Amino acid sequence: MTTSLLPVIGKPAPDFALPSTTGETIALRQFKGKKTVVLYFYPKDETPGCTREACDFRDYSADFDKFDTVILGVSTDGLESHQKFKDKHHLPFPLLADEDATVSKQYGVYKQRNLYGKKYMGIERTTFVIDRTGRIAQIYPKVKVEGHIQQLLEFVGGD
């Protein structure tokens, strides 16, 4: 019997350290004991769904702040792309560059995708809520952007 190393609700979230648009490397462990983390993985900067999702997080960032929750966005785009995306849309939270998909694979979101019959490897839009103890509190797989922010706010505000 093989055991999955992928994240499971109630289990510790895989730690990571990635370069970010803050100019520093951000590690998950730096938030342990301090804040709840909404870690959202998205396919690509400047695509319609990803832009809408990022702007929803931007528009509700003050609500997440009220619940002492930090938002971290992750994709395989590089820092230069992330910085342009962040600046263009005035995103108030860091974007993390997972260029080799190491963290995306740890979290089980780097999968075979299919676009117009063409198969490729990429990120499946997924959100993880990580509690102050560093454990996974909730997983939202195959996220539909519409209504997702409201789901998250209800969850993080329900403590």
Residues marked active site are found at 50
Q: Tell me the residue type at 84.
A: K
